Structure 1
Amino acid sequence: MDYVNLGRSGLKVSPLCLGTMNFGPETTEEDSFAIMDRAHELGINFFDSADVYGWKMGEGITENIVGRWFAQGGGRREKTVIATKFNGRMGEWPNEGLQSALHIRRAADASLKRLQTDYIDIYQAHHIDRSTPMEEWWEAMDILRQQGKILYVGTSNYAGWHLAKSQAVAAQRGLFGIVSEQSHYNLLTRAVELEVLPAAEDLGIGVIPWSPLAGGLLGGVLRKIDKGRSAADHMVKQLEKHRDKIEAYEKFCDELGEDPAFVALAWLLKQRAVTAPIIGPRTIGQLEGTMRTLEIDLDEAALARLDEIFPGHKTAPEDYAW
């Protein structure tokens, strides 16, 4: 495994990030433990979670599973760079969501308890909170860092100007600032190329793409349907919307002799500012198969062909002006 720096930090992480969102809702605790153990065996040290994962308000199901896995010992916690997120609603009362200093303090303590650890490596705002001044949430994050409860600060779903403003506020306080940004980014969804990626690159923020397979559309969906595997209604609708592109894509992957899912991930690893796409395997087999991604080296001709199939964006403002 060739580890990479997360953004401009000195923190070394694997170029694939293990997403835990399926742990609980889709994958049993026993299988989740096995997947995390196998991830370590394969060299993956970067795991991502969130307090809302498990999708039962306030229960933190997924974090609890990860915490019980850590509690088994054997160096599991020490070998893991654990990232988790706050902002989502964890209760019906006021201040049980978003980014007030009060909620951040409570959310951090609750995540630490569920994860059965005394510190979080990367604590991430799950979404922008337009109702809370950035000065307030930076002060709250600074306090957590001084207390030793978190090491790095990350964001998710921030616009380019949010990143720039956040870094400016952090600099005013003499802080290191944001180290990572989780963005919705894949061959089909490329809006972040306009401003988020160039901002992240300039500010030294590592981008961690979520939904790298566009909800499965880039994972060989036509092959699966042809083999009789059913698709959800929303998937069928999206497939019909993008069928021409998906057909061309899967044909190109056949020419490369590679699985569409692994090509999509390998393409992300070639993009500016990207540190590690988030993978969400439901089984050990899916996890092991994904390692093929790290062996694929797309050349300039392949990258150009993928841009033809899925047109992207130039950096703003050149994308829409001279």
Structure 2
Amino acid sequence: MEYTFLGRTGLRVSRLCLGTMNFGVDTDEQTAFRIMDEALDAGITFFDTANVYGWGENAGLTESIIGRWFAQGGQRREKVVLATKVYEPLSDPLDGPNDTRGLSLHKIRRHLEGSLRRLQTEHVELYQMHHIDRRTPWEELWEAFEIQVRTGKVSYIGSSNFAGWHLVKAQSAAKERRFMGLVSEQHKYNLLERLPELEVLPAAQDLGLGVIPWSPLAGGLLGGRALSAEKGARTSAISERAERHRVQLEKFSALCREIGESEANVALAWTLANPAVTAPIIGPRTVEQLRDTLRAVELQLGKEVMRELEAIFPGPGGETPEAYAW
């Protein structure tokens, strides 16, 4: 496994981030334990979750599974750089009228306490805003996060699903308070979704934020089986989306066969080649899927392969304004 710094911080993280969104949903607890054990054995030390994972009435289940895994001992917790998120409602009757999306100081305090309890830990290394809150002022947001950092419950603050100008505004408000502000931005980025190259990635890189791509396989479309998936509850939506990209995906598969690498690993290696990227999030549902993705870190794509990928999945034309002006 390779390691890099998380943005401009001195914290080192693995270049693959273990996503846990499937735990408790498509992956049972014992399999989740095996995945986390094998990930740690393989050198993946960066784990990402969210307080809402488990979804609906089961929101928080994923964090609880991770907490029970930590509780097994073996210095599991000490070895992991743990990231979780806050923003979504948790269907908690005690939240009352605040059981809505958002990032009030009140909600951040309550939901962090809940996450720590479920995760069976006293702190998290990276606490992320799951989405931009256009209602709550930055003065309140940074006050909320400063409290948690000062008390040692949180080490660093990150964002997710922010626009480029949101990142700039957040950092400007933090600077006025002499607070470190954001250290990372978790964003949807893959070969089929390259719009972040216009502004989000350049803004993050300029501000010293590590970009953590979520859905680097485009929800399974770049995993190599989307066009041949059997119809089912999980695969029907993927199959429909795959048909819209059939020509691209067929060319992509042909290229991967030519170089002797799996589609998933090529897609992950492509994201890793971007200097703005810290670690793409992998979300294995099985131990076998985890093992298959480890090759991505050591896979170096040559210039010709990168050019062919650019031809198959053209980007937006560079950064703004040159992408559409001069």
TM range (shorter): over 0.9
**Deviation string, structure 1 residues 245-270 (Cα, Å, up to 9, x no partner):** 11111111111110000000000001
For normalisation by structure 1, the TM-score amounts to 0.97
- The answer to whether the 8 Å contact 2:168/2:203 transfers is yes
Residues 1:260 and 2:282 aligned together: no
Quick one: distance in 2 between partners of 1:54 and 1:305? 39
Q: Are 2:207 and 1:203 equivalent residues in the alignment?
A: yes
Match of 1:283 in 2: 286
Cα gap change, 1:229/1:292 in structure 2, threshold over 3 Å: closer, same or farther? farther
Q: Name structure 1 gaps, 5 residues minimum.
A: none
Question: Once superposed, what is the RMSD of the aligned Cα atoms?
Answer: 1.3
The match for 1:147 is 151
The alpha-carbon distance between structure 1 residues 122 and 222, as it changes in their structure 2 partners (threshold 3 A), is closer
**Does the CA contact (< 8 Å) of 1:212 and 1:279 recur in 2?**
yes
How far does the alpha carbon of each residue in 1:107-136 deviate from its partner, in whole angstroms, 9 at most, with x for none?
A: 111100000000010000000011111221
Alignment of 1:277-316 (within 5 A): 277-313=280-316, 314-316=318-320
Q: Deviations over 1:210-231 (max 9, x none)?
A: 0110111101025644xx6767
CA apart distance, 1:272: 3.1
Shift of 1:57: 3.9
Q: Percent identity?
A: 55
Q: In structure 2, do the counterparts of structure 1 residues 271 and 234 end up closer, same or farther at CA, with 3 Å as the change threshold?
A: same
Residue 65 of structure 1: aligned partner = 65
Whole-Å separation in 1 of the counterparts to 2:165 and 2:262: 36
Corresponding residue for 2:97? 94
Question: Do 2:226 and 2:238's aligned partners in 1 also have CA atoms closer than 8 Å?
Answer: no
Structure 1 contact 121–152 (Cα < 8 Å) conserved: yes
Please, which of 183, 189, 210 is the counterpart of residue 179 of structure 1? 183
Matched, 1:192 2:200: no
The correspondence for 2:242, drawn from 222, 239, 242, is 239
Q: Cα offset for 1:59?
A: 3.9
Offset at residue 15 of structure 1 (A): 0.2
Asked whether 1:50 is paired with 2:50, we answer yes
Shifted more, 214-223 versus 112-121: the winner is 214-223
Residue pair 2:2, 2:297 contacting (<8 A) in 1 also: no
Distance change in 2, residues 1:222/1:156 (3 Å): closer
Consecutive unaligned residues of structure 2, counting only runs of 5 or more, are none
Task: Verify the 8 A CA contact 1:267 1:298 in the aligned structure 2.
Answer: yes
Work out the number of aligned pairs and report it: 320
For the pair 1:136 / 2:140, whether they are aligned, the reply is yes
Counterpart of 2:131? 127
SS of corresponding position for 1:77: helix
TM-score, length of structure 2 as denominator length: 0.95
How far apart in 1 are the matches of 2:261 and 2:58?
41
Which residue of structure 1 aligns with residue 41 of structure 2? 41
Contact 1:57/1:89 (8 A) holds in 2: no
Residues 272 and 57 from structure 1, CA distance in 2 versus in 1: closer, same or farther, beyond 3 angstroms? Answer: farther
Shift of residue 172, structure 1, vs aligned partner: 0.7
